[in-house]
């Protein structure tokens, strides 16, 4: 519990720095001068989408910490390994310290920042289409991945090969916090892949070029990081990307109508 609180403080501080960075570089000055009455009007208008996002996140935490521990299913990681071979494991034997540090920071700090900063930006700019896309996309993605996580558990790569994770090697004890928000066998499809693509697409709808470039850069680095850090299997990433693109196509047609 003490370690979890420590990492909440550390990651909270990192995200505070990123928030200041986001306010300075991504949000137009006139937006920050919005009146309180106008902001509360926008907030009330977009409250249903915010509640859906909070609801999905809350259910995910319940699924990870309450529901999954009650299940004793098979681990299908061996089937993935027989299909893929040791490609991802190979990276763990050729890690370069500077790249490991870079990808760990992107994975642990920058990726979560994009998840909460993007809906905040949509709220502040009153961009309903982007907020709808992110909200409905998150809901659709989670409905689809949940049966896989519950009934088709696949252990992550570094656990399967019994090697020390790059996360733990770079930031000791961080996994005690990290695995309160996910489990070691919630791999297929890769939620990091699906969400980072969805966020980048949602941000692109705002027309903010700086934030769009940042979001796509984050998406690319996160997809690379889950392979380079030997977290996800290649199959996880491919299925995650296909899922995200499929959901985006559905949303484009749905929101257009």
pLDDT for 95-106, tens place per residue?
A: 999 999 999 989
Question: Given this model, what pLDDT does residue 150 score?
Answer: 87
Q: Which long-range contacts (CB under 8 A, 24 or more apart) does 60-66 make?
A: 60/142, 60/181, 61/180, 61/181, 63/146, 63/149, 63/150, 64/180, 64/181, 64/182, 64/183, 64/186, 65/180
Single pTM value for the model: 0.91
The reply to whether 28 falls in a domain is no
The reply to whether 100 falls in a domain is yes
The reply to whether 14 falls in a domain is yes
The reply to whether 149 falls in a domain is yes
The reply to whether 84 falls in a domain is yes
Q: Rounded CA gap, 182 and 61, in Å? A: 8
Q: What is the mean pLDDT of residues 59-88?
A: 84
The reply to whether 172 falls in a domain is yes
Q: What is the 3-state secondary structure (H, E, C) of 138-177?
A: HHHHHHHHHHHHHHCCCCCHHHHCCCCCHHHHHCCCHHHH
The reply to whether 31 falls in a domain is no
User: Which two structure tokens, joined as six digits, stand for 199?
Assistant: 């966020």
User: Which two structure tokens, joined as six digits, stand for 133?
Assistant: 């896309």
What is the count of structural domains for the chain? 1
Question: Given this model, what pLDDT does residue 145 score?
Answer: 93
Q: Is 84 helix (H, G, I), strand (E, B) or coil?
A: helix
Q: Is the pLDDT of residue 257 over 60?
A: no
% residues pLDDT > 70 (the chain): 91
The reply to whether 248 falls in a domain is yes
* Domain assignment of residue 113, given as a range: 2-23+36-256
pLDDT for 155-213, tens place per residue?
A: 899 989 988 888 877 777 666 666 666 766 778 899 999 999 999 999 999 999 999 99
């Amino acid at each position: 519990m003490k370690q979890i609180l420590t990492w909440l403080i550390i990651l909270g501080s990192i995200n505070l720095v990123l928030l200041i960075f986001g306010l300075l570089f991504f949000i137009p000055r006139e937006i920050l001068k919005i009146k309180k009455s106008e902001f509360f009007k926008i907030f009330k208008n977009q409250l249903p989408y915010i509640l859906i996002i909070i609801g999905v996140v809350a259910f995910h935490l319940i699924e990870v910490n309450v529901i999954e521990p009650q299940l004793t299913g098979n681990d299908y990681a061996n089937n993935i390994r027989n299909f893929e071979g040791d490609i991802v494991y190979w990276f763990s034997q050729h890690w370069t310290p500077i790249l490991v540090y870079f990808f760990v920071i992107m994975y642990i700090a920058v990726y979560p920042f994009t998840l909460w900063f993007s809906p905040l930006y949509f709220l502040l700019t009153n961009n309903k289409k982007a907020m709808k896309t992110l909200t409905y996309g998150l809901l659709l993605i989670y409905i689809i991945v949940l049966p896989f996580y519950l009934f088709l558990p696949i252990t992550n790569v570094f656990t399967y090969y019994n090697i020390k994770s790059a996360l733990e090697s770079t930031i000791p004890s961080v996994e005690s916090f990290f695995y309160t928000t996910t489990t070691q066998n919630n791999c297929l499809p890769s939620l990091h892949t699906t969400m980072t693509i969805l966020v980048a697409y949602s941000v692109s709808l705002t027309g903010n070029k700086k934030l769009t470039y940042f979001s796509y850069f984050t998406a690319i680095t996160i997809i690379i990081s889950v392979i380079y850090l030997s977290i996800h299997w290649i199959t996880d990433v491919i299925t995650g990307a296909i899922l995200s693109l499929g959901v985006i196509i559905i949303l484009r047609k749905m929101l257009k109508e």
